[in-house]
Structure 1
């Protein structure tokens, strides 16, 4: 039988492969990674010159050619023709056309598309993480500002979808502040994994040339090179860490967003959304639809879903170089960032503008008897009862007040006095004024002055801590941005110096 390789007259690329794979990959590279390609070429060239792998003259000619290519080739206008395999080979073709095949091919000394690709993807993720962290920090600050503003504003807190206890909106928002802070920390943890340069790993085992991996990492603004060269190419934990942290943030944010949706409903109505964030019905003139909250909910879910999809693509893949983690998968993941940014911007704006409707809160507190727990607690402290005795008396009072559709504070004293005498065989020492104070929502909040509670002292201390946390997180991110900016400036200086070298 004839070996099919000997009679194969086909020419690369197959037109269907070109249309379905190579073309989309090329478009993705030029749209998302052209700036990264340029930075990697420049940093690698500087390193080749500094280590003596290329002469000063060779490096100077290549540097000038790269600048010419950058000036003359607009990635946005490129159309894939199939003449070259991908964007990398297009740039190499342009170099060779200007410098000849020998000198034009020297830039690729001691590197591979493998280490280039993962460096590109890390640069792309780092850029998006910078935006994401900046917007998450802005939401964090907006939540702190809102919590300060609303630290004494009463609301109804719910458990299992039912009114449970009074607290303040500032206390509720503080719970969101805490998990957003932890989510930002997780983003920084992922950032630390992204922030290691694969350049110099080459195909998978580094190179016999005396390359300086740390120098390239420095010029590209990375914290350091990723040490193991196999891991540089095969380890995708920089992807899974990033999208795990991203997904968790929006899974978490979806929960208070759902609360806001319920709390703006006609039946609950404890949150008022201003007209600027309300859409009207096309047919029902009475409707005020806080539609932005619905958009927040589905965009948060889309972000989580896209992040989960990235993890799914990584699942059950071989621990080696593979296309599963590369161009088109990276582009798919960028969609998660795009929806994430929209959620963070809109949620920060919403939190800054919504207000609590005190009349609706007061009405809901009154008809739900949610301060009754404090009556039971107070009977323990003031009347010397066991909690179970106090609980049973309080339950009887709540049942009687609900039956008469009354108010716990103004209508509950008589049922209370009767229930107390029946349970203990004596009269209560509490008069009506004291009783009314004990079942008021203001007292309920004020007496909960333990660490983490809604009373002014612990909540004020918490808010001061959140402010410091926000400042520390912003400073941490600022240091990363300054390092990257300084690296970009250093790279420009060293590259420009190369162009003038003899």
Structure 2
């Protein structure tokens, strides 16, 4: 029977050190130092308060942690392989100052498993908050623009073709409602991130009388995550966050694509001011609204980076795993970085763009897009069936387009002819009636149903959006206040340990 030869290798293998351990160490020192320090302090306070550690021992550890923070600049550290990762570096430094026994007691009742997920949540929360703040600014800009442009006519398109007149305010209101729902989804994801994993230890908590709620509160979490297995296995705090980001930028991308189309020379519905236009390097007549192109590709990059996180989590085991840790977390942070650029640039763009009324009027006339209201008005004023009214309107539109005129300028005669051909009688509509019916202003004004573009439903909608924005502001402020208070409480409790001897 053959046996394996003795294993004389020494950890870490040089290739493993360079390809895995060094990148993880560098990522931790870049992104997670503050989180490590907060976790150490909160856990130490809890160990002292529960009597798991004598207060004198906890005080000595607290002073050593402060000394390490003062003496060691993480940015200057180079990974050597002497310790496995950044977590063990702090423990090594504690042991050097306090001896192996006392220096190792900070790790009582915890594991890298629960530390890591708590650490990643601490890093995600401020990133989510920053994105929520920027999304809130975009929402406010869209509401302000919709209010200011509630009566500004535009051409609304379906299937890439002019369909009906509407207003910029009404169009933006549709986007406002989606953005508000996307913000709500992100807030729901944040609520999942806001559950503290610390205290789960490796999997099953600890035999020590730890106070998980106290640690969660000191670290600014809303509560401890209940099930300890879930604390180290459930990555839905990751998937919820990046699914919300993916949807946010997918939806914004559709709005951005419309803006790109509206600024095309042949459409010309949207005017981008000079401050956001680049001139061609060779063609001096060209005004290139390139910020919209940057918005489009940055939105796509953000969506792709968020989807990468979901793909990494796909088909992984329901347990603690490296797939959800270190480098994966860092990959996700890139979605926040590019997403921030989109939100800030789109906020600036929406505040500054203007509708070109002359081009809108010309496109409305050329495309006969008020013809739907002519059919509707025939039903109401001439007591026709909608199908018969639709046929009269269709004949009128065909004649106007063939004559290369407009409904307002040359539509009356073909309308009268079509009406008589289909009904066998003359229309009761006067020339003034016809002119009113085919005007875009009338088209918008009579669509006064709930959710429509007329002034009454628009005023109601804008009031609802402003109320929703105010409620969002209150929630953002409340979260910030709670977490600031938690930071003060932790600082006070830790400072009290420093004063003990």
TM-score tier by shorter-chain length is over 0.9
Unaligned residue ranges in structure 2 (runs of 5+): none
**1:165-202 residue CA offsets vs partner (Å, 9 max, x unmatched):** 00000000000100000000000110111110000000
Aligned to 1:226: 225
Aligned to 2:369: 370
* Secondary structure of the corresponding residue to residue 157 of structure 1: strand
How far 1:76 moved relative to its partner? 1.1
**Following superposition of structure 1 onto structure 2, how do residues 18-167 of structure 1 map, counting pairs within 5 Å?**
18-167=17-166
**1:81-130 residue CA offsets vs partner (Å, 9 max, x unmatched):** 11110000001111111111111101000000000000011111111101
Matched, 1:174 2:170: no
Aligned to 2:211: 212
Distance 1:268 1:485 in 2: 50
How far 1:289 moved relative to its partner? 0.4
Distance 2:96 2:179 in 1: 52
Matched, 1:476 2:436: no
Distance 1:288 1:69 in 2: 57
Matched, 1:437 2:436: yes
How far 1:433 moved relative to its partner? 1.2
Distance 1:264 1:300 in 2: 19
* Secondary structure of the corresponding residue to residue 452 of structure 1: coil
Runs (4 or more) in structure 1 with deviation over 3 Å come to 1-4
Aligned to 2:201: 202
**1:201-222 residue CA offsets vs partner (Å, 9 max, x unmatched):** 0001100000000000000000
Aligned to 1:427: 426
Distance 1:177 1:95 in 2: 53
**1:216-248 residue CA offsets vs partner (Å, 9 max, x unmatched):** 000000010001100000111111111111100
Distance 2:15 2:247 in 1: 39
Aligned to 1:273: 272
How far 1:307 moved relative to its partner? 0.8
RMSD, aligned CA: 0.8
Using structure 1 for the length normalisation, give the TM-score.
0.99
Matched, 1:263 2:262: yes
Aligned to 1:240: 239
Aligned to 1:413: 412
Distance 1:86 1:491 in 2: 26
Aligned to 1:8: 7
How far 1:135 moved relative to its partner? 0.6
* Secondary structure of the corresponding residue to residue 284 of structure 1: coil
How far 1:443 moved relative to its partner? 0.2
**1:260-298 residue CA offsets vs partner (Å, 9 max, x unmatched):** 000000010100000010011111111100000000000
Aligned to 2:458: 459
Aligned to 2:307: 308
* Secondary structure of the corresponding residue to residue 444 of structure 1: helix
Distance 1:211 1:348 in 2: 47
What count of residue pairs does the alignment treat as equivalent? 501
Which has the higher mean CA deviation after the structures are superposed, 92-101 or 360-369? Answer: 92-101
Distance 1:487 1:441 in 2: 57
Aligned to 2:385: 386
* Secondary structure of the corresponding residue to residue 165 of structure 2: strand
Distance 1:8 1:22 in 2: 21
Distance 1:293 1:138 in 2: 18
Matched, 1:492 2:491: yes
How far 1:2 moved relative to its partner? 6.2
Aligned to 1:346: 345
* Secondary structure of the corresponding residue to residue 84 of structure 2: coil
Distance 1:402 1:158 in 2: 18
Matched, 1:17 2:16: yes
Distance 1:473 1:184 in 2: 9
How far 1:3 moved relative to its partner? 4.3
How far 1:421 moved relative to its partner? 0.7
Aligned to 2:318: 319
Distance 1:102 1:36 in 2: 25
* Secondary structure of the corresponding residue to residue 278 of structure 2: coil
Unaligned residue ranges in structure 1 (runs of 5+): none
Distance 1:38 1:61 in 2: 16
